[in-house]
Amino acid sequence: MPVVRTQRRYAALQAVLVAIVLTIFLYGFWLASENPKFGIFGRTLTSEPATQRVVALTFDDGPNPPYTTEIVRWLKAHDAVATFFVVGRAAARYPEVVQEAAQAGDQIGNHTWDHAHLLLERPSHQRLELRRTSLAIRAATGAAPTLFRPPFGGRDPEIVSLAGALGMRTVLWSVPLAGDWNRPPARIIAARILKKIKPGAIMVLHDGNKGACGVLPRMTHAACDRSQSVEAVKLIVPALQAQGYRFVTVDELQRMAGPAAPEIENEEESGGGL
């Protein structure tokens, strides 16, 4: 009997060790799938080589008035543009905000319908998330988006391929995230961005909260407050303009670097559709 008990304990210990190793592996895999530097999870745009001092300022999780509107109008008044990756349900709730951004010269990209982590969704739902959002963007602006950013950066080759089949290139970022959603002071957000800037960089700020502001009733004012991000913009833009940088949309950044990646196929041209 002692031998049997020892064997059982050994087997239980082995099972625990295997579980720990598997958990560490899966956690590492999960983190890597959200890291822009790991190209094995799908070909994405994180920056462009640039011979000019140009950068792309991007925003996620809106539209979220009044913050998105203030950003759009401030940028226009200061000779700068941005790319807004909007959440579909928020774009459908505030189409006039999306329209104003597009008319101001900003670019509108797809950030899924409800900020879903696509790696956790079935392929059919992944497709629905992207298609539904693109339809909302087209309804607001008259044009379908050509850019897609997965929430959390989570993607795999199938998700990147799906976006390409719907006419969109997958865009991540090159400047480490500034954590502006945690609402640190604007000067801290700006400092985190500015210290990592170089020509061709793509930076990310947040003008909303997963597209839920004004859509879900449980969202509090504090959860939707992006005033720190707005004020950070007012620090970042003039600081970089003083260094000779020009702000461009992601599409313009791509054009300056050369032709877009060949994996993009527009379904409308190939018999498909949004």
Contacts of 29 (CB under 8 A, 6+ apart): none
Instruction: Based on the residue annotation, tell me whether 106 is a catalytic residue of this protein.
Output: no
Instruction: State the catalytic residue, choosing from 60, 61, 106, 114.
Output: 60
In degrees, to the nearest 5, what angle opens at C-alpha 51 toward C-alphas 46 and 53? 75
DSSP structure string for the chain = -HHHHHHHHHHHHHHHHHHHHHHHHHHHHHHHHT-TT-GGG---B-B---SS-EEEEEEES---TTHHHHHHHHHHHTT---EEEE-HHHHHH-HHHHHHHHHTT-EEEE--SS---GGGS-HHHHHHHHHHHHHHHHHHHSS--SEE--GGG---HHHHHHHHHBT-EEB--SSPP--GGG---HHHHHHHHHTT--TTBEEEEESSSTT-TTTSTT--HHHH--HHHHHHHHHHHHHHHHTT-EE--HHHHHHHH-SPPTT--BTTTTT---
Q: Is 60 a catalytic site residue?
A: yes
Catalytic residue (choose from 61, 106, 111, 206): 206
Torsions phi, psi of 5, nearest 5?
-65, -40
Tell me how crowded residue 53 is: count the other CB atoms within 10 A of its CB.
15
Catalytic site residues?
Answer: 60, 206
